[in-house]
C-alpha cells in the first residue's frame, strides 16, 4: 500500500491524501505515479495540466541503485 499525503506545513493538517496498492514490487513505481496524479487532481490541478506534464515515473527515474 502506497500513501501520499499533502500536509499544511504550518498547521500539520492534512490537505489531501491518496492511497494506491501495488500488486508487486515491480508495480510500485507505476502505482506511485498514479497516486501522484490523483493527488495532484485533488489539490486542484486541472486534468489538462496533469496530462500535459505527467511523465510515467519509471521513465523519469532510474532503476540503478548506484545512480546518484
For 15-61, the pLDDT digits (tens) are 999 999 999 988 888 898 899 999 999 999 998 998 888 877 767 66
pTM attached to this predicted model = 0.72
Q: What does the radius of gyration of the chain's CA atoms come to, in whole angstroms? A: 14
Closest CA to 28 of 55, 65, 1, 59: 1
Amino acid at each position: 500500500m502506497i500513501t501520499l499525503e499533502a500536509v499544511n506545513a504550518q498547521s500539520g493538517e492534512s490537505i489531501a491524501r491518496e492511497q494506491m496498492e501495488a500488486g508487486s514490487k515491480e508495480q510500485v513505481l507505476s502505482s506511485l505515479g498514479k497516486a501522484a496524479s490523483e493527488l495532484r487532481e485533488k489539490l486542484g490541478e486541472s486534468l489538462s495540466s496533469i496530462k500535459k506534464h505527467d511523465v510515467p515515473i519509471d521513465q523519469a527515474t532510474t532503476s540503478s541503485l548506484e545512480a546518484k
